[in-house]
Amino acid sequence: MTSTPTALSIAQDLLRCPSVTPADAGALDVLETLLKGAGFTVHRVTFSEPGTADIDNLYARIGNTSPHLCFAGHTDVVPPGDASAWTHGAFAGDVADGLLYGRGAVDMKGGIACAVAATLDYLAANGGQPKGSISFLITGDEEDVAVNGTVKLLQWAAERGEQFDHCIVGEPSNVETIGDTIKIGRRGSQSGVLIVDGVQGHVAYPHRAANPVPDIAKLITALNDEPLDHGSAQFQPSNLEFTSVDVGNPATNVIPAQARAKFNIRFNDHHTQETLKALVEHRLVAACGNRIRAHIEWLPSNADVFVTKPGAFTDLVGAAIAEVTRRTPELNTGGGTSDARFIAKYCQVVEFGLVGQTMHQIDERTPVSDLDKLTAIYRGVLERYFK
Ligand SMILES: [Zn+2]
């Protein structure tokens, strides 16, 4: 009987491909070879967009029926930074003192390696076929502009009639120890610019001018006065943060014609982008009264709030985690955005991977024992999912 490759050996093969976005450097070939060997139908799909680099993506599936569990992730990585500062080469895949070093070790070639190792092992132990379908949705475009990656790959899959029931994104969700955190959602993000129009004039004749500077200060205070909400069952309160005030006035003796202030809102599931904008504009109108002339220019956003409510799927993943780690993971919705927000439009999705502490840092690394644990957890998920 031939044994299936370990997560460590797969992770090392992936780490040795310097796939800094938009380069692939052979990373998807590593996955294609392994998945084809296990009976997956593998598609390589290249997406283009004027002004951006073409990006290679991979979609692989085994089985034709439901339930359909998808593992999603990205093989691209951020640049290593100062290469000489690394203890072990950023693309060497070295193991030292039980630690696997390399750019992407935790974010997220290590996570993908565990999902592949668990799947190959599961298939080998179950006659080579799942009682349903397993797929891998892997992009090479997550860390940079992310326009030729998951969004387009999901559309491509939907056009082919692919339907996912559940998805696990192997991003490094854990904060300190493997098993401490499953991400079940993320807040949305919406940016805007508050613009106050005044009337330009000489500072010595203020009655002939209208100064937008004190007015924008007043409006900033007013928009921060009342919380947007008090949080929800799964989310912390939404927050609106002003990030700059811009008048651009080089003179001290001229009242400027306009003042602008940039802000960003991180919002929870009390809001949609539309209701959130309406709420902020309503408060702005109230704060302006009849005197102040102000409006908001909203910037485009593709970061909507999403949440997979605790239920059968989160319980199943939690049980697999508890079996391996003896921990009950926290179901968390904190932190920034990820590709899971796009997947959430198609199926229930959670993020669970390695420990995120060293992601994007010099000497990014993971204990090899964490690779073994994560592989065992994914293996337990597959066992329960296709029971
Ligand atoms: Zn990542």
Q: Is position 49 annotated as part of the catalytic site?
A: no
Q: Which of 123, 155, 137 is nearest to 43 (CA)?
A: 137
Query: To the nearest whole percent, how much of the chain has pLDDT over 70?
Result: 99
Q: In angstroms, what is the span from residue 137 Cα to ligand 1's centroid?
A: 14
**pLDDT higher than 90, residue 222:** yes
pLDDT at 146: 80
Calculate how far, in angstroms, residue 114's C-alpha sits from the geometric centre of ligand 1: 15
Whether 76 sits among the annotated catalytic residues: the reply is: yes
The residue from 24, 56, 121, 142 that is catalytic is: 142
Annotated binding site for Zn(2+): 74, 107, 143, 171, 360
Report the 3 state secondary structure along the chain.
Answer: CCCCCCHHHHHHHHHCCCCECCCCCCHHHHHHHHHHHCCCEEEEEEECCCCCCCEEEEEEEECCCCCEEEEEEECCECCCCCHHHCCCCCCCCCEECCEEECCCCCCCHHHHHHHHHHHHHHHHHCCCCCCCEEEEEEECCCCCCCCCCHHHHHHHHHHCCCCCCEEEECCCCECCCCCCEEECEECEEEEEEEEEECECEECCCHHHCECHHHHHHHHHHHHHHCCCCCCCCCCCCCEEEEEEEECCCCCCCEECCEEEEEEEEEECCCCCHHHHHHHHHHHHHHHHCCCCEEEEEECCCCECCEECCCCHHHHHHHHHHHHHHCCCCEEECCCCCCCHHHHCCCCEEEECCCECCCCCCCCCEEEHHHHHHHHHHHHHHHHHHCC
Mean pLDDT of 177-182: 98
Ligand 1 center to 108 CA (angstroms): 5
Residue 336 has pLDDT above 80, yes or no: no
Tell me the average pLDDT of the chain: 96
User: Which range (115-124, 146-155, 294-303, 331-340) has the least confidence?
Assistant: 331-340
Predicted pLDDT at 303: 86
- What pLDDT score was predicted for residue 335? 79
Domains within the chain, CATH numbers bracketed: 7-186+305-386 (3.40.630.10), 188-298 (3.30.70.360)
Residue range 240-287, pLDDT digits in tens: 999 999 999 999 999 999 999 999 999 999 999 999 999 999 999 999
What's the CA-to-centroid distance between 104 and ligand 1, angstroms? 8
CA of 311 to the centre of ligand 1 (A): 25
42-72 pLDDT, tens digit per residue, is 999 999 999 999 999 999 999 999 999 999 9
Evaluate if pTM is beyond 0.75: yes
- The CA 103 to ligand 1 mean position distance, Å, reads 11
Residue 198 has pLDDT above 50, yes or no: yes
Q: Which amino acid is at 326?
A: R
Compute, in angstroms, the gap from residue 253 CA to the centroid of ligand 1. 50
Cα dist from 1 to 4, 24, 37, 124, 125, whole Å = 10, 33, 15, 10, 11
Question: Active-site residue among 76, 229, 304, 339?
Answer: 76
pLDDT at residue 143, rounded to an integer: 86
Show binding-site residues: 74, 107, 143, 171, 360
Residue 2 confidence (pLDDT): 59
State the average pLDDT over residues 82-104: 97
Distance 102 CA to ligand 1 centre (A): 14
373 C-alpha to ligand 1 centroid (Å): 19
Mean pLDDT to the nearest integer, 224-234: 95
Residue 1, pLDDT > 50, answer no
